Structure 1
């Protein structure tokens, strides 16, 4: 997996860090009985997913492999020719 840079992007690091903070806040809220703080922590976890996806869409995530694009184009082309 490390050869493919799995998760080694700014989008992944940011999303995981924000989610970790959210889980920590929710965990602390369970120790000190604070229901509102628990829900705030879960909201932070949801925000982490949105931020990670937005950063990935902005180009800070893993870029598609050029080999994958070549493979799918080669597979799609004969189907288009035979349908015509």
Structure 2
């Protein structure tokens, strides 16, 4: 995956950061036994997905490419028999 640009876009980073903040909020309120705060954190998680999707449609995400461009074909050198 390191060779590709999967997820290296402003839309992906923004969506993941917002979702991470939501998970932290939900986790903190879960420990404090506050259901309303937990569900508020879950709403923030969903908001991260929505924001990332909107940013992707605005052109800040990974550009669409044909599937054939994603396939990597490996070529092998013909084996030579040395005598």
State the TM-score bracket (shorter-chain normalisation): 0.7 to 0.9
CA distance in 2, matches of 1:30, 1:19: 16
User: Any stretches of 5+ residues in structure 2 without a counterpart?
Assistant: 69-83
Q: CA deviation at 1:33?
A: 1.3
Corresponding residue number in structure 1 for 2:41:
41
- Give the length in aligned residue pairs: 69
Q: CA RMSD in A?
A: 1.7
Instruction: State the TM-score, normalizing by the size of structure 2.
Output: 0.76
1:1-84 → structure 2 map (5 Å cutoff): 1-65=1-65, 68=66
Per-residue CA distance 1:21-57 (angstroms, 9 max, x = gap): 0000000011111111000000000111100000000
Rg: which structure is higher? Answer: 2
Structure with the higher helix share, 1 or 2: 1
User: Any stretches of 5+ residues in structure 1 without a counterpart?
Assistant: 72-84
